Amino acid sequence: MLTGARQVGKSTLAKAAFPGYTYLDLDAPMDRERFSKLGPEDWAQRYPRAIVDEVQKLPELFETLKARFDRDPQAKYVLLGSSQILMAKRLQESLSGRVALVEMFPLTLLERVAGPDGTLGESRLVRWLQSPTPLALLESWRDPLFPSSRGFAASSQAWEDMLRWGGMPFLQAHGNTDEDKMGWLSDYQKTFLQRDVLDLTENSRLEPFGRLQALAALRTAQTIQFAELGRGASIAAPTVQKYLRYLEMSYQAVLLPPWFRNQEKRLSKMPKIHFLDLGILRALTGKRGPVDGAEYESAVVAEILKMIRTLALPLKPHFLRTSDGREVDLLLERDDGYFAIEVKMSSNVAPPDARHLLDLQELLDKPLLASLVLSQDPDPKWFADRKTFAFPAAFLLGPEA
């Protein structure tokens, strides 16, 4: 099962990866009706191996494929869908133990600077998050000569483009003008509402969801108060929570939970919302100028979360906020400790930008492995505690080259 937001390239990837499989699309109602009448033996005869797109539109198919697989464990199917929420329960009930779930996101910076043959370099971010000695690794990257390297220049250029347009594959095609890109993003939003959200809400009233989505976009990188957001969208707080969950399950946004020493409190406090693609976010807000600090924070956090989820890294993401005003934008929990990341849009990082990271250990219940400020400053820096470093975001998010 390959899931991800609409138009991230699921169908294109599946066709390329499985050229011998029959491609079936369940988007059209008449086709769904035809496929719904096929039993396990029909699938064995007609489609022994197939790519089934928009599978969330025919959830009863899971039972048929389960029976097909149980009779012949060599049966192979690639299931594609743009929303987990319509599939999660059926997957657990019908295909538990029989399916591998893979998520697909808009392009990452690492993918944007892939080699001409499509080869990806090794991500500095992933290497750092997996390192047994993350502090020593940051020390090794302090070389002040790296901003002049060719690899960093390519990453910086691609990062600037992503801050403007996001990472949806269509927008990277050669020959697209700015007007083409803006038009596509506008159409994408309409398609998302009219297709995915209509399936999710199971009714034809898209206006409340559209209002909530637009208001949530204006609050990216902020904590969400359900009652306040509900008043703005003219819907009840429980409906706000449900619609925000829809945004998560359709890969439009992520709700980052707060960190507390008491794990039970983590389930009840206000989350912080981040939209996963800056192009789509800015289409929702109508902004066309330079990005602001909140948009920049969401862009960086989204890149990190996309990488963690794509590679299924054993890390739990949180944000931290204390009653006395200390805030850490991203706190990643590993079995042996924490990584703390602060995001600043500054092109000249100074010690005050790292103040919330200093002496952070006293708040935590596990060791602080390393702290990092990610920004637009091209020069690496390190701070007095010797555990806190600053690097340009394009450097850490890009490949080692």
Which residue ranges make up each domain of the chain? 2-104, 124-397
From residue 49, alpha-carbon distances to 36, 67, 210, 296, 337 in Å are 17, 15, 38, 43, 44
Q: Are 83 and 13 in contact (CB under 8 A)?
A: no
Tokens 């963690």 belong to 308
Task: Quickly list H helices, 18-149.
Answer: 29-36, 40-46, 61-71, 88-94, 109-112, 124-130, 134-140
From residue 247, alpha-carbon distances to 87, 101, 158, 280, 284 in Å are 15, 19, 27, 12, 13
Least confident range of 14-18, 52-56, 342-346: 52-56
**pLDDT confidence bin for 203, thresholds 50/70/90:** low
Pairing of strands 388-392, 381-382: antiparallel
> pLDDT averaged over the chain?
88
Examine the pLDDT at 141 and tell me if it is beyond 90.
Answer: no
Tokens 């996309």 belong to 306
Assigned architecture for domain 2-104: 3-Layer(aba) Sandwich (3.40)
For residue 269, count other CB atoms closer than 10 A to its CB.
Answer: 12
Examine the pLDDT at 84 and tell me if it is beyond 80.
Answer: no
pLDDT score recorded for residue 116: 74
Pairing of strands 337-343, 327-334: antiparallel
pTM of the model: 0.92
Most confident of 93-107, 161-175, 243-257, 334-348: 334-348
Q: What are phi and psi of 338, to 5 degrees?
A: -125, 150
**pLDDT confidence bin for 143, thresholds 50/70/90:** low
Pairing of strands 388-392, 368-375: parallel
Examine the pLDDT at 383 and tell me if it is beyond 60.
Answer: yes
Least confident range of 66-70, 173-177, 294-298, 391-395: 173-177
Most confident of 56-65, 207-216, 328-337: 328-337
Contacts of 367 (CB under 8 A, 6+ apart): 336, 337, 338, 361
Question: How much is the average pLDDT of 295-311?
Answer: 96
| Radius of gyration of the chain measured on its C-alpha atoms | 22
- Helix, strand, or coil (residue 64): helix
The helix (H) or strand (E) run that includes residue 332 is strand 327-334
CA 34 to chain centre: 34
d(CA 3, CA 102) in angstroms, rounded, equals 6
The Cα angle at residue 44 between residues 42 and 49, in degrees rounded to 5:
125
pLDDT score recorded for residue 85: 54
